[in-house]
Amino acid sequence: MNNGNGRAVTFGVIVGNRGFFPDHLAQSGRAEMLAALEQGGYGAVAPSPQETKYGAVETRAEAASCADLFRKHREAIDGIIVTLPNFGEERAIADTLRMAGLNVPVLVQATPDTPGRMTIRDRRDSFCGKMSACNNLAQYGIPYSLTSRHTEAPDSAEFRRDLDWFAAVCRVARGLRRLRIGAIGARPAAFNTVRYSEKLLEASGISVEPIDLSEIFGRIARMGDQDPAATAKLEAIRRYVPSDSVPAAALLKMAKLGAVIDHWMAETEVTISAVQCWTSLEEYFGVVPCTVMSMMSENLMSSACEVDICGVVGMHALQLASGTPSALLDWNNNYGDDPDKAVCFHCSNLPKHFFREARMDFQQIIAGTVGRENTYGTCVGLVKPGPMSFARFSTNDRAGAIHGYVGEGAFTDDPLDTFGGAGVVRIGNLQGLLRYICEGGFEHHVAANLATVSGAVAEAAERYLGWRVHRHA
Low-confidence residues of the chain: pLDDT under 50 = none
Q: What is the DSSP string of 396-426?
A: ETTTTEEEEEEEEEEE-------SSEEEEEE
Q: Are 16 and 93 spatial neighbours (Cβ–Cβ below 8 Å)?
A: yes
**Which superfamily, per CATH, for 180-471?**
L-fucose Isomerase; Chain A, domain 2 (3.40.275.10)
**Is-same-fold flag (10-177; 180-471)?**
no
d(CA 191, CA 395): 15
The DSSP bridge partners found for residue 355 are 383
Tens digit of each residue's pLDDT (9 = 90 or more) over 1-57: 666 666 799 999 999 998 777 789 999 999 999 999 999 999 999 999 999 999 999
Full-model pTM: 0.96
Identify the three-state secondary structure at position 199. Answer: helix
d(CA 252, CA 304): 22
Q: Could you state, in order of their start, the residue ranges of all structural domains in the chain?
A: 10-177, 180-471
At 116 the pLDDT is 78
Q: CA 83, 85, 89, 90 torsion: positive or negative?
A: positive
At 221 the pLDDT is 97
Paired sense of beta strands 43-45 and 106-110, if any:
unpaired
At 4 the pLDDT is 64
Paired sense of beta strands 272-275 and 376-382, if any:
unpaired
At 1 the pLDDT is 63
At 368 the pLDDT is 84
Residue of 211, 204, 207, 338 whose CA lies nearest to 262 = 211
Q: Which CATH number fits domain 10-177: 3.50.50.60, 3.40.50.10940, 3.40.630.30, 3.40.50.460?
A: 3.40.50.10940
